[in-house]
Copies of this chain bind each other. A is one copy, B any other.
Amino acid sequence: MKLPRTHTLKEISKLIDSEFVGDENFAILGINEIHVVENGDIVFVDHPKYYDKALASAASVVLINKEVACPEGKALLVSNDPFRDFCKLAAYFKPFQTSDKSISDSSKIGENTIIQPNVFIGNHVSIGHNCIIHPNVVIYDGCVIGDNVIIHAGTILGADAFYYKNRPKGYDRLISCGNIRIEDNVEIGAGCTIDRGVTGITTIKEGTKIDNQVQIAHDTIIGKKCLIAAHVAIAGCTVLEDEVTIWGQVGISSGITIGKKAVVNAQSGVGRDLEGGKSYFGSPCDDARKKYRELAAIKVLPEIISKVNNI
């Protein structure tokens, strides 16, 4: 998330009541989670195992729970609880706003766009031209939707990320301050859920078509002209390149990349990066032909076992 205006290191340190290392006028442009952090951003880290990754990331400011050597050209915010303080910043810059009517006055709806009954459109939502938003769709605050988009009934865009920190007393939710962008000519089926980014933008690119009851988690990027069949679940921070086809009930782990024109067959489970242009099957999935050979081999296995036991 970019801040509404540039803030100084000193201003931010005051907001979260922390120490800082660096020039008090050091410019801060945004706050972002490690997967989507950019130059000018604050990132947070609270486990020594990940210190190096955070310090070497694109982040300009590292919100950290130990005073370490500050890399050249960067700054530190030193806090006894970086997770809590990151949430404090997210809540400060993107406070939760209630809605007292189904369609917020601050939303912007394009020409010839049809909004059917019982739809909820949150604050500062933007919807393009020639869209159809079917009944009982929910679009949370700040979502951005392009032109010629169709969203079928009961679909939910922009709920919070499922992202928690395990504390002795219970799980603490990372406050989601990210967003959603649905590009032109995307069509989304009924009963889908697409979560907002934790700090980044969950994105469905131009021309992608999504069937019913699909789940897409925070900060995931779906490429152009992808096809996603019913009951697929895609975890957070994953990237589908363009023209990927995912068949029904496939599950995809977080933080991986599926290459251009890959095809993942029904009920597969994807736990690692997949090369583009190939077909995959199985849970965990593998090259489809290889997997089919294994399945054929399993069919003769009881017979092979008798054979071996008789040797």
Residues of A within 8 A of B (CB): 96, 98-102, 114, 116-118, 120, 132, 134-136, 138, 140, 150, 152-154, 156, 159-160, 162, 164, 170-171, 173, 185, 187, 189-193, 195, 206-207, 209, 211-213, 215, 217, 225, 227, 229-231, 233, 235, 248-249, 251, 253, 266-267, 269, 271, 283-284, 293-302, 304-305, 307-308, 311
Contacts and interface: CB of A to CB of B under 8 A. Distances in A.
Contacts of A293: 302
7 shortest interchain CB distances as A-B pairs: A120-B135, A170-B207, A138-B153, A159-B190, A193-B212, A162-B211, A156-B190
Given A118-B120, A153-B138, A185 B212 contact: no
A132 B97 CA distance: 11
A187 B195 CA distance: 15
Given A138-B154, A302-B297, A233 B235 contact: no
A98 B114 contact: yes
Nearest to A116: B99
30 contacts: A98-B114, A99-B117, A101-B117, A116-B120, A118-B120, A120-B135, A120-B136, A134-B159, A136-B156, A153-B156, A154-B156, A156-B190, A156-B191, A156-B212, A159-B190, A162-B211, A164-B227, A170-B225, A191-B215, A193-B212, A215-B231, A230-B233, A231-B233, A233-B249, A248-B251, A266-B269, A294-B301, A296-B302, A301-B301, A304-B308
Contacts of A187: 173
A221 to B, nearest CB: 18
A152 B195 CA distance: 11
What is the copy number of this chain in the assembly? 3
A109 to B, nearest CB: 14
A134 to B, nearest CB: 7
A15 B150 CA distance: 26
Contacts of A249: 233, 249, 251, 269
A229 B162 contact: yes
